[in-house]
Each structure stands twice: as C-alpha cells, then as structure tokens.
Amino acid sequence: MAIEIASIKVQVREFVWDYSQTKGIAPQADDQLLIQQSTMDSLGVFRLISFLEDTFPIVIEDTDILPENFETINAIEGFILRKMGDAAAEVAFSPTQASTQTALVS
C-alpha cells in the first residue's frame, strides 16, 4: 500500500482539528504543542492512537506512547514515518523531487 507523505499530515491534521473543535478550540498550527496547550487531552491521545493504527499500516506499542511522539502535528507525522520505515518514504518520493534534491546537493 503506497501512502503519500503529504497525505499523512493532512489526515493527522484533520483528526486533530476535528477533535479540537469538539472542545471549542480553533484549529492549530502544525508545530503548536497539542497537549500542553490543551488541544489534545488524554482521551484525545487515546483516540488518536486508535485512529493512527486504523488509518496507517502501523502498530503503536506502549513504549511508543511518549510525549515527544505526539506533541505536535509535525511530530506525529514524523512518528508515523518512522513506524512505517524508510520504504514508505521512498515510495512517496517522486523522481522530480530526487532530481531537484540531486541538483541542490551537486
């Protein structure tokens, strides 16, 4: 199953925004601290974990449930990518991006 990297962030953002709106909180920036700013609470994190396991090909272990993995939308995206492994990132990496990055490195 090929999952685009951009799609991961969009789906996570939509979940967080939907959850925060049920609490009367406006949508947050991708780098805003979700738990510390009360956008997500313990129930929200539990629902988020269930959502992530249902949506992406990952299993979240108890040892994965660390604040740094869930503190921002960006952190959640990075966590998902790490759990999925480098193969998922390579699938979503287009030849256009590769040639652009090669040109920048050269």
Whether 102 has a pLDDT exceeding 90, the answer reads: no
Report the candidate in 84, 98, 104, 58 with the shortest Cα–Cα distance to residue 4.
Answer: 84
25-36: b (≥16 Cβ within 10 Å) or e: beebeeeeebee
Assign residue 95 the CATH number of its domain.
1.10.1200.10
The domain in which residue 86 lies consists of 5-105
- Average pLDDT on 31-56 reads 93
| 94 pLDDT above the threshold of 50 | no
Q: How many domains does the chain have?
A: 1
Q: Provide the terminal-to-terminal Cα distance of the chain, rounded to the nearest Å.
A: 33
- 105: pLDDT strictly greater than 50: no
User: Per-residue pLDDT tens for 53-75?
Assistant: 999 999 999 999 999 999 999 99
Tokens representing 10 are: 């969009």
